[in-house]
Structures are given as C-alpha cells and as structure tokens.
Structure 1
Amino acid sequence: MPVYEFYCRKCKEPFTEIMSVKEHDERTPKCPRCQETKEVEKRISTVHTVTTKKWLTL
C-alpha cells in the first residue's frame, strides 16, 4: 500500500498515512494530533523503487 504524506495547517505538524489508492481518492485523513480534516493538505513526497534489469549478451 502507498504511503502518503500530509501536513496539518492548524497544528503545523506533518504526518504520514498508509492507505490504498481508492481510500486516498475517497477521503481526506484526520490529523493524528488535532483530528482536523479541513486543514490537512497533501504533500509531494519522494518515491523509491527497486527494479531488476536483465541484460542480454549476444
């Protein structure tokens, strides 16, 4: 499941939330500190992926 980063403008605290893409599209999370939903904004975060690449030798 993806990890999303948010910031609460009311209490000025960043927080992360693990939720499915569907959950993310359907609701705004509550701030864990003040329980606010209207003052929560999504933050842009980095993505880390690991891939394998197979090389073909001719």
Structure 2
Amino acid sequence: MPVYEFFCRKCQEPFTEIMSVKEHDQRMPECPHCHGTKEVEKRISAVHAVTTKKWLTS
C-alpha cells in the first residue's frame, strides 16, 4: 500500500499515513497529534520504484 504524506496546519506537524488508493480518494486522514481533519493538507513526496527488468543496450 502507498504511503502518503500530510501536514496539519492547526498544530503545524507533518505525518504519514499508509492507505489504499481508494481510501485516499474517499477520505482525509485525522492528524495523529491534534486529531483534527479540517486543516490537514496533502504534501507531494518523492517516489521510489524498484524494478527487476534490465534494459538492454545495443
């Protein structure tokens, strides 16, 4: 499951949440610090992918 990054403007704390893509589309998570939901914003985070395919060069 993907890990999403959020920031709570109410308490000024960043946090991460593990949720499915469907869950992410349906609800905004609760801040684990102040338990607020209205002032939580999504943050853009880096993506890391590991593949097993090797590219062939000529």
- TM-score greater than 0.5 by the shorter chain: yes
Alpha-carbon shift at residue 14 of structure 1 (Å): 0.1
State the percentage of identical aligned residues.
75
Q: Give the number of aligned pairs.
A: 57
CA radius of gyration, larger in: 1
Alpha-carbon shift at residue 55 of structure 1 (Å): 2.8
Gap regions ≥5 residues in structure 2: none
Instruction: Give me the TM-score of the superposition, normalised by structure 2.
Output: 0.90
Instruction: Give me the TM-score of the superposition, normalised by structure 1.
Output: 0.90
Gap regions ≥5 residues in structure 1: none
Equivalences for residues 18-57 of structure 1 within 5 A: 18-52=18-52, 53-55=54-56
Runs of 4+ residues over 6 Å off in structure 1: none
